[in-house]
Amino acid sequence: MVARQLQSRGIRDERVLGAMAKVPRERFIPVGSRHQAYQDAALGIAGGQTISQPYMVALMTEALHLACTERVLEVGTGSGYQAAVLAELAARVYTVERLPELTEAARRVLCDELGYANVSFRVGDGTLGWPTEAPFDRVIVTAGAPGRPQTLLDQLTGSGEAVVPVGGQHWQTLTHYRRRPDGTFEETRLCECAFVKLVGQEGW
């Protein structure tokens, strides 16, 4: 997976590649689908949600420029796989999910089975972020937002960065935001992508 799907497509950050090689993707996938764990595709999980394609996980993680010290907000816990990769690279991960059953399943795999101690979970509307724990150094959204997620961007530190799929209900543009010293944001489009809808007060 790392060589054929990630390095061959331009993922270069050695720490990201190392995390992708270390985290057992099959542990985050329903038992009946585990033989597909390392395919170059997103896969279905409970609640009508998906676990993202490995390349997309690596691309989004690399775009956050993590250096071990960051507090990261993840919107959309899903299977917990992206949170595990982030937990390998950041100081602490705060992950929000609207579906309680996904939160509990992810907590069980991440904490009870794999022993991650630097991940905090919350059930709620991820479009509103996690105000009581803000500000965050990084924000990553693993569902497609209908527009610029201003509430989430407002929860970034003064030099914070965010990666968010922004666009329609079926196709989005993966967008990187970097906060400038004057409080405005530099916006960079990375690639086209397809995520499930970001559901919530400031989503779909």
CATH number of the domain to which 94 belongs: 3.40.50.150
Domain that holds residue 22: 2-27+41-193
Q: How far apart are CA 96 and CA 10, in angstroms?
A: 29
- How many structural domains comprise the chain? 1
Do the domain assignments include residue 199? no
Asked whether the beta carbons of 155 and 176 are under 8 A apart, the reply is no
Q: Indicate the burial class of 113 (C-beta count within 10 angstroms; 0-12, 13-18, 19 or more).
A: exposed
pLDDT in tens, 18-59: 999 999 999 999 999 999 999 999 999 999 899 999 999 999
> Is 79 tagged catalytic?
no
Residue 36, in any domain of the structure: no
| 200 part of a folded domain | no
Whether 96 maps to a domain, the answer reads yes
Question: What pLDDT sits at residue 76?
Answer: 97
* Cα–Cα distance, 31 to 50 (Å, whole number): 14
Which residue in 52, 79, 120, 159 is the catalytic one?
Answer: 52
Q: List the Cα angle 99/135/83 in 5-degree steps.
A: 40
68 within domain boundaries: yes
Cis peptide before 135 (omega within 30 of 0): yes
Does some domain include residue 34?
no
Residue 179 lies in a domain: yes
84-132 pLDDT tens trace: 999 999 999 999 999 999 999 999 999 999 999 999 999 999 999 999 9
State both tokens at 122.
């919350």
- In a domain, residue 10? The reply is yes
Give residue for tokens 């989430």.
152
